[in-house]
Each structure stands twice: as structure tokens, then as C-alpha cells.
């Protein structure tokens, strides 16, 4: 059992002095049933995860059928489980997407998956939803299951695309070329009493995050691109502007996995890196756990 509660957290927060520490235990493969407490975080591919709790499952950036550039996709046998709604995909109620790049969202497969799972709702930016419109028959048949997350730069909006699962969404500039505006969303999902932040391909800088005051939003787990941790000092802004209990490095190209893990073990030993599709960990507030 690994407790990863203190890494990169800033000095005790004067506003919220009782931020929970987390017990991010190794669960190996997903369990057949959802945890009674907290959430189960299951890695799918690249930046794609499934988050499950008793309230249902939420997929983020997980609808990937084909490897894109050097980034991984969800293997065929796991996609089959998704289509048939087999555990751990039996109660997925909401699919979220950070932005419309092919290593985060693939419209043909998303359309197929949504068609197969009639209760599933998709929440995404107008740009992402627009790509579905190009797929024949897709937009009309899905119409009442698409929720537009239309957010202005600098604003935070809360969407409850499915009952009981609020998602806070806000715009974070994409890494790379300035002016490269893709409606990249940061999203905070609250599930099973745990708040999970996913930032897509957000640029890793204080200026990008500062407007959203995440540090006072009690983020339990932050899923952030692995490149934040490659340059000495770059990730320092996380303590002040995100202040999560645990960080997970995402978007690691499979070919770099070994070297990235080795580097992070030295420079950021508390940061979690998932390695294999369906690798899963349970996240609970450790206030009631001894870990
Ligand atoms: Zn991108």
C-alpha cells in the first residue's frame, strides 16, 4: 500500500487546512465491483482513463481505437468490453473529452461506442462535437445525448450532463505554438467524494492555471502531462496553482515509458505513472484508512 499524499503539496493551505491525504493503493486490474468508498482509477491509453464509483463511471479521453503518432490506443479486446458494457465498463454514464486531437478523441470510434451504449452521454467542447457531425448518421441519432461544454477563456462553468456527476470545465491553453487554440479543457470531475482533475494537453505554466484558483478547490488527484516533470523546476507551479493530493503523469509515449519512469523516480518520486491498459488503483481519502 502506497501513500502518496504529500508530494508537491505546498505549505499547509490557510483556507483549507484539512485537505485529505490520499491512499492511492495498487489495485492491479479493475475489480468486478466498484469501491464502496472513493473511486477506482483505471488507465486506458495515452491520456485516457476510466473513473468509477458507486455513482457510475466517467471516461475521459478514453475513446481511442488507433495509435496516433507515437501514442497508444485502447486495444481491440478492451474496446470489445466497452461495447458490450462488460466490467469495468458496465456503468459508464458520461464520456468527457479534453480536446479534438487524435490522441485524445477519435470520432469514428466514439460514434460506434456511443451507438452501442444507449445510456452514455458525451460532454465536450463545440469543436469536439463538431467532428461527430461529419460521421454519417451520428449527430442525429446522438442528438439528445450530447452536452456542449461551451466555456469562454477565463471562465469556469459547471455542467451536470448526467445527474449526480458535476463537472467543472475551464479553458487551459494547449501546450506548444501560441495561438494554437483548440478549446483545450481542464475538467474537474467529482465522483465518490473524490475530485479528479484532467487537463488534456494544457501548457504547464503558472500563467495558464492561475486564473482558475484550483488550489482552493480541493483537488484530490491531478492528471497532468508527463512533460511538466521533464524540465527541472517546471512543475513547481503545481504546488501553488493546483495543490492536488496526488499527481499522475499522463500522455507518456510507450517507447519512453521506461526512461520517463526512471527519471520521475529520481526527480518526482511521488508522481504516479500508469503502464498498462486496465491497470487500476483505488483512490480514497485516507482519513478513515490506515495507510
Ligand atoms: Zn493535443
- Per-residue pLDDT averaged across 177-204, rounded? 90
Percent of the chain scoring above 70 in pLDDT: 85
- Per-residue pLDDT averaged across 184-196, rounded? 96
Distance 7 CA to ligand 1 centre (A): 27
| CA pair distance 286, 276, nearest whole angstrom | 25
Distance 66 CA to ligand 1 centre (A): 16
* Residue-level pLDDT at 19: 38
Distance 237 CA to ligand 1 centre (A): 21
Each residue of 66-124: pLDDT tens digit?
Answer: 999 999 999 999 999 999 999 999 999 999 999 999 999 999 999 999 999 999 999 99
- How many C-beta atoms surround the C-beta of residue 69 within 10 A? 9
Phi and psi at residue 22, in whole multiples of 5°? -115, 145
Distance 266 CA to ligand 1 centre (A): 27
* Residue-level pLDDT at 21: 45
Distance 182 CA to ligand 1 centre (A): 8
Distance 201 CA to ligand 1 centre (A): 5
Distance 176 CA to ligand 1 centre (A): 9
Q: Give the domain range for residue 259.
A: 27-272
Can you list the positions of beta strands (E) in 54-207? 56-60, 92-96, 121-124, 146-148, 156-159, 167-171, 185-191, 194-198
**193 within domain boundaries:** yes
Residue reference for cell 495558464 = 208
Distance 51 CA to ligand 1 centre (A): 21
- Per-residue pLDDT averaged across 183-203, rounded? 96
**14 within domain boundaries:** no
Distance 170 CA to ligand 1 centre (A): 16
pLDDT at 143 over 90: no
Domain count, the chain: 1
Q: Are 249 and 274 in contact (CB under 8 A)?
A: no
| pLDDT confidence bin for 4, thresholds 50/70/90 | very low
Q: Are 46 and 250 in contact (CB under 8 A)?
A: yes
Phi and psi at residue 196, in whole multiples of 5°? -115, 125
Phi and psi at residue 252, in whole multiples of 5°? -80, 125
Distance 84 CA to ligand 1 centre (A): 29
Distance 117 CA to ligand 1 centre (A): 26
CATH (domain of 43): 3.60.15.10
pLDDT at 54 over 70: yes
| CA pair distance 262, 257, nearest whole angstrom | 9
**279 within domain boundaries:** no
| pLDDT confidence bin for 284, thresholds 50/70/90 | confident
CA gyration radius, the chain: 18
Mean pLDDT of the chain: 87
Distance 58 CA to ligand 1 centre (A): 20
**221 within domain boundaries:** yes
**21 within domain boundaries:** no
**284 within domain boundaries:** no
Each residue of 27-41: pLDDT tens digit?
Answer: 577 766 667 778 999
* Residue-level pLDDT at 9: 33
Amino acid at each position: 500500500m502506497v501513500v502518496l499524499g504529500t508530494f508537491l503539496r505546498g505549505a499547509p493551505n490557510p483556507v483549507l487546512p484539512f485537505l485529505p491525504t490520499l491512499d492511492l493503493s495498487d489495485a492491479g486490474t479493475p475489480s468486478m465491483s466498484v469501491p464502496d468508498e472513493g473511486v477506482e482509477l483505471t488507465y486506458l491509453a495515452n491520456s485516457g482513463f476510466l473513473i468509477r464509483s458507486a455513482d457510475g463511471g466517467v471516461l475521459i479521453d478514453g475513446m481511442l481505437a488507433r495509435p496516433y503518432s507515437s501514442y497508444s490506443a485502447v486495444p481491440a479486446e478492451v474496446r470489445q468490453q466497452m461495447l458490450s458494457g462488460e466490467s469495468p465498463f458496465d456503468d459508464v454514464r458520461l464520456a468527457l473529452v479534453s480536446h479534438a486531437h487524435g490522441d485524445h478523441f477519435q470520432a469514428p470510434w466514439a460514434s460506434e461506442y456511443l451507438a452501442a451504449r444507449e445510456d452514455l452521454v458525451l460532454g465536450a467542447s463545440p469543436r469536439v462535437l463538431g467532428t461527430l457531425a461529419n460521421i454519417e448518421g451520428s449527430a442525429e441519432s446522438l442528438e439528445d445525448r450530447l452536452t456542449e461544454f461551451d466555456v469562454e477563456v477565463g471562465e469556469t462553468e459547471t455542467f451536470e450532463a448526467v445527474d449526480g456527476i458535476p463537472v467543472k470545465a475551464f479553458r487551459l491553453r494547449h501546450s506548444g505554438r501560441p495561438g494554437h487554440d483548440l478549446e483545450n479543457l481542464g475538467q474537474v470531475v467529482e465522483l465518490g467524494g473524490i475530485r479528479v482533475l484532467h487537463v488534456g494537453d494544457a501548457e504547464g505554466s503558472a500563467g495558464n492555471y492561475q486564473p482558475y484558483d484550483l488550489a482552493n478547490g480541493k483537488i484530490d488527484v491531478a492528471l497532468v502531462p508527463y512533460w511538466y516533470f521533464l524540465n527541472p523546476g517546471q512543475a513547481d507551479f503545481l504546488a501553488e496553482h493546483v495543490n492536488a493530493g496526488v499527481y499522475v503523469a499522463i500522455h507518456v509515449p510507450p517507447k519512453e515509458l521506461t526512461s520517463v519512469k526512471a527519471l520521475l523516480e529520481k526527480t518526482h518520486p511521488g508522481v504516479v505513472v500508469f503502464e498498462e491498459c486496465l491497470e487500476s488503483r483505488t483512490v480514497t481519502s485516507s482519513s478513515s484508512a490506515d495507510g
